[in-house]
Structure 1
Amino acid sequence: MSLDACAGLVERGDPDRFRTLLAAPLEARKRLLPLYAFNLEVSRAPWLTEEAMIAEMRLQWWRDVLEEIASGGQVRRHEVATPLSDVLDPEGARRLDALVAAHRWSCYRDPFEDEAAFTAHIAATGGGLMAVAARTLGAADPAPAEEAGFAAGLAAWLLAVPELEERGRMPLPDGRPAAVAALARDGLARLARARAAQSSLPKPARPALAPAWRAGTLLRRAAAFPARVADGTLPESEARKRWGLLVTGLTGRI
C-alpha cells in the first residue's frame, strides 16, 4: 500500500492539517500522513450512520487494528491500516486506542458528565494525536506536543460547536459565555507552555506541532468573545488564516 491513498484522504477531508505538511520534510510527511489519515477515518466513523451499534462496530474495527499493531502480529491489509503499521510502535498504538475510545462520545447523544470528562476527551483526541505524531518523529518527551495538541483540539472543537448542536449533541459541559471563555483561557495557557518548550523537541519532531497554527488566534477570539462560539462566527478571516499558516511554515513556530 502506498501513501497516495492517505494523502488523498487527508487533502480532501482535513485540508488544514494537510496544508501543514507542505512545509514539512519529506520523511516527516511519510510518517505523519498515515497518522492523519487514521485520525480522519476514526473521527468521521461515528457520523456515517445513525445506528449507535454500527458506529461502535466501526470504531471497534480500528481498535482491533491498533491491537494488531501493539501485539506485533500480522496487521490486516487496508489503505490506511497498512501504512499506519509501518510508522507506529506498540506504545503509539496503545495511545491511539484511547483516542478511538474517546470518539465513542460521538455515537450517542449523552452530554459530557462534567468538565473533567470534557477535558479528558480533548486530551485523548487532540493531545493524544499530536503526542503520538511527535513520538513518531523521534521525540523522547512529547509533552510540548501534547499541550499544543490539546490547544489545537479545543480550538477545533469550539469551531464545531454549532454543527454538533445541529446534530443533536451537547458539545460543551457548560455553554454559558463565562464558562466558554474559561475553557479558551485554559487552552491558551497550554499553548503558551507548548511554545515555551517547543525548542526542547528535536528538530525532526517539530513538524508534529504545526497543526496547532490556528489555535492561538481562535482561542483568543473565544476568550474575548465567547458568544461567537455558539453563533458560528468564531473563525478568523481567510486572509488572517493564510497568514498564520505562512508564518508557521516559514518559521516552524506555532
Structure 2
Amino acid sequence: MSVSACAEIVQEGDPDRFLATMTADVPGREALFPLFAFNLEIARAPWVTAEPLIAEMRLQFWRDVLDEIEQGAQPRAHEVAAPLTAAVHARAIPLAPLRALIDARRADIAREPFATPAALWDYINEGAGGLMFASVAALGGTRESEARVLGRVHGLAAWLEAQPALEAHGWRAADLSLYPEMIDTALSELKGLRGTRFGPATPAARVAWRAKGILKRAKADPNAIAEGRLSESEFARRGGLLWKTLRGRW
C-alpha cells in the first residue's frame, strides 16, 4: 500500500503516463502515481470479466472508495485505495472528475458502438478530459478548461491508437467515418492551446506529448488507424518526451 506499488502498476499498464510522471519532482510523483493507478484499475474493470454484473461490481468498489475518501473514512487496505486517499487529501484533488471516470467506463461494459462524434466526444471528455483536469489540479494547476481540452485531445489520440486492441476484444466501437472530423477538431483545439502555460502542473500536461504526432499520422493516412500504424518508434517516443522536458514544455 505505497506510492511505489502504484508506480509499478502504472509502469506496466500505462508506460506513457509513467514516463511523463517521472519528469515531475518527487512530491508530484506521489500525487500522480496513485491517480493514474486508480485510472488503470477502473479501465481494466470491464475487461477482466465477461460478466457485466461483475464488471459493475468492480466499478462500484471504486465508487465506494471515493465516497469513503469524501467522508474522511479510514482508507481500505488496497494497494491503490490507500495511496489515492492520501493523495486526494494532501492535494485537494477534486472527486467529481474521478467519479465521471468511473461512469464513463460503463460504455466499456456495454461495448455498444458510438453512433455519432458527439457521443464519442462525451465518452472521451468524461474519461481522458476529466483525468487530465484531476492530474493538473493535483500539481496545483488552476487552468481547468485548458486541461480538459488537452485531455480531450490526448484521449482521442489514445483512442485511435487503441483501435486494433479494441477490435481484438470484440468491440467495433465506432465507424471509421467518424474520425476525420474528430481529428480535425482535435488538431484545431490543440493549436488553440499554443502558448498555454500550466506552471507547476506541466508534468501532468506532458502526458499528452505524443498526441499531436498520432493525430497528424491519422489524418495523413486514415487506414493506419485500423492497421495499428499510428505509433512512432521507441526512440522517437522517448526522444520527444526528453525534448519537451528539457525545454520545460508539455
Please, what TM-score do these two structures have when normalized by structure 1? 0.92
Counting aligned pairs with the same residue, the percent is 45
Residue 38 (structure 2) aligns with: 38
2:221 counterpart of 1:228: no
* Greater Cα shift, 12-21 or 73-82: 73-82
2:237 maps to amino acid: K
Whole-angstrom distance in 2 between the partners of 1:242 and 1:25: 19
Match of 1:151 among 150, 153, 171: 153
2:111 touches 2:173 (CA, 8 Å); kept in 1? no
Q: CA deviation at 1:125?
A: 0.9
2:190 maps to amino acid: L
Residue 166 (structure 1) aligns with: 168
Residue 100 (structure 1) aligns with: 102
Q: CA deviation at 1:42?
A: 1.0
Residue 73 (structure 2) aligns with: 73
1:144 touches 1:195 (CA, 8 Å); kept in 2? no
2:230 counterpart of 1:248: no
Q: CA deviation at 1:5?
A: 0.8
Alignment gaps of 5+ in structure 1: none
Residue 219 (structure 1) aligns with: 215
Q: CA deviation at 1:99?
A: 0.6
2:128 touches 2:155 (CA, 8 Å); kept in 1? yes
2:179 counterpart of 1:175: no
1:46 touches 1:106 (CA, 8 Å); kept in 2? yes
Whole-angstrom distance in 1 between the partners of 2:17 and 2:97: 20
2:112 touches 2:173 (CA, 8 Å); kept in 1? no
Change (3 A) 1:233 1:57: same
2:93 touches 2:137 (CA, 8 Å); kept in 1? no
2:93 touches 2:138 (CA, 8 Å); kept in 1? no
Which whole-Å deviations, capped at 9, do the CAs of 1:51-101 have from their partners, x for residues lacking one? 111111111111111111223333322111111111225771121100111
Residue 191 (structure 1) aligns with: 190
Whole-angstrom distance in 1 between the partners of 2:64 and 2:140: 25
1:231 maps to amino acid: E
Which whole-Å deviations, capped at 9, do the CAs of 1:192-215 have from their partners, x for residues lacking one? 233332x2x3x2211110110000
1:126 maps to amino acid: A
Whole-angstrom distance in 1 between the partners of 2:37 and 2:151: 16
Residue 10 (structure 1) aligns with: 10
SS for the counterpart of 2:76 is coil
User: Which stretches of structure 1, 4 residues or longer, exceed 6 Å deviation after superposition?
Assistant: none
Please, what TM-score do these two structures have when normalized by structure 2? 0.93
Residue 82 (structure 1) aligns with: 82
Residue 205 (structure 1) aligns with: 201
State the superposition RMSD in angstroms: 1.6
1:245 maps to amino acid: L
Whole-angstrom distance in 1 between the partners of 2:244 and 2:41: 26
1:181 touches 1:224 (CA, 8 Å); kept in 2? no
1:24 touches 1:207 (CA, 8 Å); kept in 2? yes
Whole-angstrom distance in 2 between the partners of 1:128 and 1:239: 30
* Greater Cα shift, 32-41 or 244-253: 244-253
Residue 134 (structure 2) aligns with: 132
Q: CA deviation at 1:109?
A: 2.7
1:70 touches 1:94 (CA, 8 Å); kept in 2? no
Whole-angstrom distance in 1 between the partners of 2:246 and 2:180: 31
SS for the counterpart of 2:183 is helix
Match of 1:120 among 113, 122, 127: 122
